[in-house]
Structure 1
Amino acid sequence: MSQKIICDASVGSGAGQWYGTLVIKNIRYEDGSSVTIQSFLGVKFLAPKTTADITVNAQFTPWQEVSSEISTEELDQNTIDVTAKVFVQQAHTFVASDTITWGINADLTVNPDTYTNSFELYADALPGGTVNIEVAAAPDSALADTEQVVYLEKGTQATPLTATPGETESYQVAAGTYNVEAAELANSDETVVATALVSPSQVEVQVGAESAVSVTYGVVQKYSALDVSIGSLSSPIDKEPLHVKVVDNSTATVIDEFLSSNNRTTNLRRLPASGSVDVSAQITLNNVKYSAVKTVQLSGSLIQVSVGQSDIKTENIDTTGFVDLPVQVQTDLTGSSGTISVRLTSANKDLIYTQQLSVGSASSKFDVKVAPGDYTVKATGFIQDSTVYAIQAPAALTVNSDGSTVLQLATQKGADLNVNGFTDFLTFGGLSDLVDLEGTDFVAANAFSLFKYAGNDGAGDAGTYLADDPATTKTVQLADTVADKLGHSVLPVMISYTVNLSLGDTLAQLNNKEGLAHSFGNLILSMNLAQSTSKQTVPIGYVVNPDFLGECQKGPSGQALSPDYSMAVREPLADALQYRKVDADIPDDVTDTLKGYVVAVNWLIRTVCPRATFGWQANIWGVGSSTWIYTKDASADGPAQMAKKTADYIKSLEVYSGKYVPDFLAIDRYEADDFTQRAYTNGYCYGPYEWGRFFDFCGALSLELQVPVMPWQIPASRIPARTESVVDLEVEHWGSGGTYIFGDANIGSDYLNIHPKILEIKPAPLVTHPTVEDLFASAQPFDLSDPAYFDFPLRGIFAVLLGGGATTGIVTTIGKTAKWTQEKTSAYMEDPVSW
């Protein structure tokens, strides 16, 4: 029998009524010998009941990125049982100083021994038992080759297990009590569907024991299915979505309706088994109606319905009573050659008007008369002399029947996209794990930047002044090597913490004078090493203090920290300058306040390494939560509103004003591949709709601040097609970010092209969709055929940095799909998006 693993556990400093941390370190066997893990550390402990996600921050020596998978089970009204896996990228032997910090939104100060004495640790294992899933024979021959999915649910985590009808499958499962659910059994086109009945509804898995779950079948339903395909249509509707309706001819009832773009197939499932329907597709654009109608006999099977250019009939609609719509553009630009694209869509979406307008013309009008009524307005901006100009337009417009309506537009100046250290076109870079110092992956990707965390612990090394920083020197040398091979500059970017608010415990971190001094000093060391090592004109780039702005905006107790919040700044900065022998006088605007700290960081970089390029980092949850990304009511909490709140706080700290203005702003969401449990059980499971809102947030924040932005640590993993092999979601690192950014014809416009294992995932409740399939089905019109990056510059985006420590990017040591990403970035560089 193996020895018991023990640790030293305590409640972290600064614990209060609403938030605290549990800290474990000195992980060892009972006899004092070292513990080595190959893949993960299994952890079980008790915690006070919390409605928020438990966070994990691990500091290992040598430093490496870790990820986690956490599930909870309620024991009573006050206590939860936590089961976790802390994953490492490579085998790790624990030393006494290794620390794992668990952030918990609850009060740990009451009966703390209950929690600190509860820790159980396991090397590459968790205590568990066997679950045998016995499935009855398929109730219909059409279902014989279909896999039955059974979900074991514990807290917010749902683990899908599969078994073939008529067989029994056995699975090793961590100990605990699980709710059991069974998905319907359906064939691929859902023309035959059987209700699945599971027993028992709850199963207790005990260590070393076996548990049984049985699945039987009830009613079998028969349906029809339609695949409605819109082909390649000609101008002017080649880029327009058509309004498609499916109407029951016997009752005139609309069975389904949706928008479909060109070269898109929409799958309609579980339609009546018999009867006749009309499938119509139409659009009225600039007073011309384009339409097609096809009659289909339903037959309890899958039927293909195609609409091509030869099916389209055109008709000029009656414009009696329509009026001229003048447009006035207010701008301070002179001699502009910019063009504005304006689009009006009627409230019932039956009428669409488009118009191209020259910014140089102060007054013009639509080429055709416009029907009186209510419209939504969309106006697209332009780029002139590398500067983004957005168009301010009313969200809605009522066109009056007396012709008195004038559409008022105005240009709004945004960011200059030319950023020190970067190019005049959109570029991609990614994280390096410094495994391959020849840069093979970055050369294959034709990358223009690469990033790595500075120092030993990757978070500022607040405990000491570092004697050396190999992470910086190796990253700079790697960038030089890749640059030599590619024949163009490759910017090394270091992620530098001068205070680590990613760790939580915000106030304690801000008031750790000694830690601030050490981290200031370690940033100076990194800059000095970069300047002495790099062979490139811009020797180094920095993303400073991830999570700092978001944590301060969110506040330790839900209230934003004031810019005048008192903290020591000048003394620790002076200590760092003296230790590193930097002869510079600290300016008077570096005050002992939160705002003064921001000035100190900006001044320090501009003083010690004036040729560096740098930016701060913001994220989507500085407003208090990231759940707004899923909201459908954009008027209440859309990307623009969330960006405005974030920008207002950044402005209050004067991050991008004064004498030492940074070059850019990095923006991220949670760094994890969407279809791994560390992402979707933590509420980060994005479809096209959510990714669109994220990049809209980037664009709106850039516009509010007039600062160029760089999405950073973006997962580049792709969605697997249903024909591909998908074995282990946690090992293979599938996700949606790469597919959204670069497009994938294998997924195209049909979400049922996605592998069933992906569609069956049950994300956390705050995602607001029961399954990934429902998440994608709600993103209409669904189409991932083409890249999304074409309009990135119009959103103020000048570069994108992909991947993270345990997230797919460019390096093949992280994520099965990194080769695909390399191919996509390399192909992109054959025709990059410039300004």
Structure 2
Amino acid sequence: MSRNIICDVDSPSPDIWYGTLVVSNIRYDDDTSVTIQKLLGLKFKSPKATGKITCDVSLTSYEATKSQVYPSKPSEDVNDVTAQVHFTEPHTFVHDDHLTFGIVGDLTTDLDTFKNSFKLYAESLPSGTVIVKVATTPDPALTDAQQVVYLERDGTEDTILASAPGTTESYTVEAYKYDVKAADLATSDETTVASALASPSQVEVQVGGNTDIGVTYGVVQKYSALDVSIGALSQPITTERLHVKVVDDNNATWFDDFLSPNGTKKLRRLPVSGSVDISAQITLNDVKYSAAQNVQLSQSLIRVSINQNDIKAENVDTTGFVVLPVEIQTDATGSDVSIPIRFASTSQDVIYKQQISIASNSAKFDVPVAPGDYIVKADGFIIDSTVYGVQAPATLTVNSDGSTVLQLTTQKGASLAVRGFPDILSYGGLTDLYDLSGSDFVAADAYAAFKYAGNDGAGDSDRYLEDDPATRKTIQLAEAAASELKHPVLPIMISYTVNLSQGDDFTHLQNKDALMYSFGNLILSMSIANSTATQSVPVGYIVNPDFLGECQKGPTGEMIKPEYDMVVREPLQDALKYRKVDAEIPDSVTDTLKGYVVAVNWLIRTVAPKATFGWQTNLWGVGKSDWIYKKDDPTGPAEMAKETADYVKTLGVYSGDYRPDFLAIDRYEADDFTQRAYGPGYCYGPYEWDRFYDFCGALSLELQVPVAPWQIPASRIPARTEIVNDLETDHWGSGGTYIFGDPAIASDYHNINPQILEITPAEITTHPSVEDIFASAPPFDLSYPSYGSFPLRGIFTVLLGGGSTTGIVKSIGKTGEWTQSKVHDYMDNPVPLSY
């Protein structure tokens, strides 16, 4: 006789904006205990969510877990939610174990429906079998082509691959009602394409049942295909993008954009006759570099490469051009240090660039400059590990009368020498503690492993912990990896003493007992590190994620002021007494919000003086995150960073006697092409990632504090020719591709897999599709890594991944192994922090 798993569901303090659904007392319907070997699955309904749905797992005993939540696109203001909780070892649920689902949505309407909707499953979610029968090939050229069938569920596509025409394949899929679509059957170069029809167009997969889908073929079309590429170029245009145009013999433009060296533009499904003219050009420092070719089309793939030998250089007529003086205000010293200056015409076709020595307060460009409007870029520089930023106008109009002067000012920033970290830009990642040998971190040659401290990962604010296995095991893993790598691997614990990650700020700030317990549990974690770690810097801490951002934007839209009253000294004293720490609390720890910040800094410096630590903030501390998407807003990241820095300064986070070592910064850790990210509006292309890291750099400069981008999604963009099976489980994204580069994507968004381009992100992104995110971005090139600029942005390390987000560990998503190899390859030629 089968037994159903039942549970109790509560919703403490639901409101129209945010609330939680808390699952506890998980048991069988005969009241016997439930033991999970690997997977607990849940299905339930939630209100239409305007933000991420989170899942926090709190167990009375410690087992490593990871959770994944997949909400459907809402229908009639209701989400169908699927959640999975994975266990590393068997776990028997007891009454007080609970799962807390954070819902950004209105739980006050029809709350009983949401509470009563929970269904729980041991080891697997209910599923059925789909049998896909594909017709025989409609053309000999398509014999080796692969047929893809999409099962679409509320806008989220699951992909089923039939290996070839003329086959019948069976697939196990989650029981659900799906729309069915079939992709065109095409050769890899799309010179032969057959339309495909899946029947029926809708199926409902029943638990344990079989569902048939057939694929038939219609008209076969023949096409030409064209690959236009830029080969390796020589100085001075080695790294310059060329403006490429492809125009047919009817004067219709097929392509008009920029391509980088070693970049390729793929044009598909073209006519099989006629010709095209291909041109490429750029003007740099008054020299025009150009090439032109004519190509006859045919029913085949035609490859055209523009190489250095094809490039013709000629001086442009500089009549009417003017001298452009440059004035520099700086307190930096170093005669051999230069500022790289680059400014490009608004069309990007005309570029001037030059190195200006900081030893000269007044200089000029070596060549005359064409009057007009330019976009200015002036990079900073590093002297003895200290970053100097350069303030320059975002745009510059060069007047025809020669009156324009380019004004530059340098600003001293952070020292990148952070204890516990090497003198190179390093990488670390989240550990799920599945493998305590640290083999993933060894394979990546990583320098840090982070994990949330305690049992519930949020401070365990309801009790003093007797032990903290998460801290012990993270230290064990880090030291095992360090032993193999022959260099330190820093264990970093994420510690909450006030958890504002789920809102309800004032309640948490006023909870004296919770603060006492969480202070005590932080002391426990530090004591374990002091007594067990053997590395010279035993442990690192990132404290109170989301705290600064939440306080800055405030629960009512107004920041919480530093003098806000809260009890700090008493719970801190009680925690010190309980943990038998003999230390006198300084007078600077007052019963205010600012006093609480001092208390955290003092506590870490007192109990773990050898530790390294930093606070964390977010790009949405200004009360919004949509600024990241705004075009024609070059100063946006700097403005948002200054607002954030000003608030951090008022709290004295990085001043006084107990100053932290660094600042961690995140946006939201989900992989961009999962619904958990693009649903609430975190779906970045190269433009948005540029602005995020510009925000990091500006914030570092304002605070003079080194920064660590944290919980950065390190997944990659799949190329057009790759197989994308499931957007949610494969964990595709853009964060890793932006950092490490991928020539398969290069500078052409058409190289991105069509399933990715078709994603519809949240309205906050201002884009109707991922395709539009990339198509409307300024010219980009993902062929090469972007990490070379990180030190100039005050970045000394990057910490990758999250609980269900691609990082270094391979157990999360399809792209984790790719990221791991990229980090390892990077270490063959790492970026120094002092030059």
TM-score (norm 2): 0.90
The answer to whether the Cα contact below 8 Å between 2:325 and 2:406 also exists between their aligned partners in 1 is yes
TM-superposed deviation, 1:31: 1.5
TM-superposed deviation, 1:623: 4.0
1:129-144 equivalent positions in 2, closer than 5 A = 129-133=128-132, 140-144=139-143
> Is the partner of 2:693 in helix, strand or coil?
helix
Query: Which stretch has the larger CA shift, 463-472 or 503-512?
Result: 503-512
The answer to whether the Cα contact below 8 Å between 1:69 and 1:677 also exists between their aligned partners in 2 is no
Distance 1:724 1:200 in 2: 26
Show the counterpart of 1:663. 661
The answer to whether the Cα contact below 8 Å between 2:720 and 2:751 also exists between their aligned partners in 1 is yes
Distance 1:548 1:478 in 2: 28
Show the counterpart of 2:711. 713
Distance 1:559 1:183 in 2: 50
Instruction: Tell me if 1:20 matches 2:36.
Output: no
Distance 2:634 2:356 in 1: 30
Show the counterpart of 1:352. 351
Matched letter for residue 23 of structure 2: I
Change (3 A) 1:479 1:160: closer
Distance 2:444 2:601 in 1: 32
TM-superposed deviation, 1:187: 3.3
Matched letter for residue 712 of structure 1: W
TM-superposed deviation, 1:389: 1.1
CA offset digits 1:193-233 (Å, max 9, x no partner) = 45555565554445455555555556655443211111111
Instruction: Tell me if 1:246 matches 2:246.
Output: yes
Change (3 A) 1:107 1:231: closer
Instruction: Tell me if 1:4 matches 2:4.
Output: yes
Show the counterpart of 2:405. 406
The answer to whether the Cα contact below 8 Å between 2:379 and 2:390 also exists between their aligned partners in 1 is yes
The answer to whether the Cα contact below 8 Å between 1:71 and 1:154 also exists between their aligned partners in 2 is no
Distance 1:811 1:486 in 2: 16
1:164-563 equivalent positions in 2, closer than 5 A = 164-165=164-165, 169-197=169-197, 202-207=202-207, 221-251=221-251, 253-335=252-334, 337-556=336-555, 559-563=558-562
CA offset digits 1:46-86 (Å, max 9, x no partner) = 3333443433222234242422132336564x544434334
TM-superposed deviation, 1:92: 3.7
Change (3 A) 1:276 1:240: same
> Is the partner of 1:340 in helix, strand or coil?
strand
The answer to whether the Cα contact below 8 Å between 1:733 and 1:815 also exists between their aligned partners in 2 is yes
Change (3 A) 1:542 1:179: same
Distance 1:73 1:412 in 2: 47
Show the counterpart of 1:72. 72
Matched letter for residue 189 of structure 1: D
Matched letter for residue 700 of structure 1: A
TM-superposed deviation, 1:291: 0.6
TM-superposed deviation, 1:517: 0.6
Instruction: Tell me if 1:34 matches 2:27.
Output: no
* Structure 1: runs of 5+ lacking an equivalent: none
CA offset digits 1:770-795 (Å, max 9, x no partner) = 77677666666554443222111001
TM-superposed deviation, 1:607: 2.4
Distance 2:425 2:29 in 1: 55
Query: Which residue of the other structure, out of 741, 759, 762, is the alignment partner of 1:762?
Result: 759
Distance 2:374 2:453 in 1: 52
The answer to whether the Cα contact below 8 Å between 2:63 and 2:87 also exists between their aligned partners in 1 is no
Query: Which stretch has the larger CA shift, 489-498 or 174-183?
Result: 174-183
Distance 1:305 1:244 in 2: 12
> Is the partner of 1:712 in helix, strand or coil?
strand
Matched letter for residue 357 of structure 1: I
Distance 1:471 1:130 in 2: 40
TM-superposed deviation, 1:98: 1.9
Matched letter for residue 697 of structure 1: F
TM-superposed deviation, 1:416: 1.3
1:680-691 equivalent positions in 2, closer than 5 A = 683-691=681-689
Distance 1:383 1:601 in 2: 31
Over the matched positions of the two proteins, sequence identity in percent amounts to 65
CA offset digits 1:600-654 (Å, max 9, x no partner) = 211211222223211011233434455554x261518843344334334333433
Distance 1:49 1:447 in 2: 40
Instruction: Tell me if 1:797 matches 2:802.
Output: no
TM-superposed deviation, 1:309: 1.2
Distance 1:133 1:558 in 2: 53
CA offset digits 1:562-608 (Å, max 9, x no partner) = 44444332222222122122333333433333333222211211222
* Structure 2: runs of 5+ lacking an equivalent: none
Change (3 A) 1:732 1:765: closer
How many residue pairs match? The answer is 830
Change (3 A) 1:121 1:444: closer
Matched letter for residue 35 of structure 2: T
The answer to whether the Cα contact below 8 Å between 1:68 and 1:678 also exists between their aligned partners in 2 is no
CA offset digits 1:131-157 (Å, max 9, x no partner) = 555555555554454444444433453
The answer to whether the Cα contact below 8 Å between 1:675 and 1:758 also exists between their aligned partners in 2 is no
Change (3 A) 1:373 1:161: same
Matched letter for residue 489 of structure 2: V
Show the counterpart of 2:614. 615
Show the counterpart of 2:102. 103
Show the counterpart of 2:42. 43
CA offset digits 1:459-498 (Å, max 9, x no partner) = 2121211222233344335444544554443332221111
Change (3 A) 1:769 1:429: same
Distance 1:800 1:85 in 2: 28
Matched letter for residue 280 of structure 1: S
TM-superposed deviation, 1:412: 1.9
Distance 1:202 1:439 in 2: 46
Distance 1:486 1:478 in 2: 12
TM-superposed deviation, 1:245: 0.8
The answer to whether the Cα contact below 8 Å between 1:261 and 1:781 also exists between their aligned partners in 2 is no
Query: Which stretch has the larger CA shift, 711-720 or 511-520?
Result: 711-720
> Is the partner of 1:530 in helix, strand or coil?
helix
TM-superposed deviation, 1:703: 1.9
Distance 1:316 1:194 in 2: 50
1:603-752 equivalent positions in 2, closer than 5 A = 603-624=602-623, 626=625, 628-629=627-628, 631=629, 633-635=631-633, 638-674=636-672, 678-679=676-677, 683-718=681-716, 735-744=733-742
Root mean square deviation of aligned Cα: 3.3
Change (3 A) 1:87 1:772: farther
CA offset digits 1:419-451 (Å, max 9, x no partner) = 122233212223334455444444444333332
TM-superposed deviation, 1:302: 1.9
TM-superposed deviation, 1:346: 1.3
The answer to whether the Cα contact below 8 Å between 2:446 and 2:823 also exists between their aligned partners in 1 is yes
Distance 1:83 1:811 in 2: 23
Show the counterpart of 1:597. 596
Change (3 A) 1:805 1:394: same
CA offset digits 1:338-372 (Å, max 9, x no partner) = 21111121122231111110111111100000111
The answer to whether the Cα contact below 8 Å between 1:442 and 1:810 also exists between their aligned partners in 2 is yes
CA offset digits 1:766-822 (Å, max 9, x no partner) = 567777677666666554443222111001011122333444444455566655555
Distance 2:155 2:506 in 1: 30
Distance 1:576 1:518 in 2: 7
> Is the partner of 1:603 in helix, strand or coil?
helix
Distance 2:173 2:814 in 1: 25
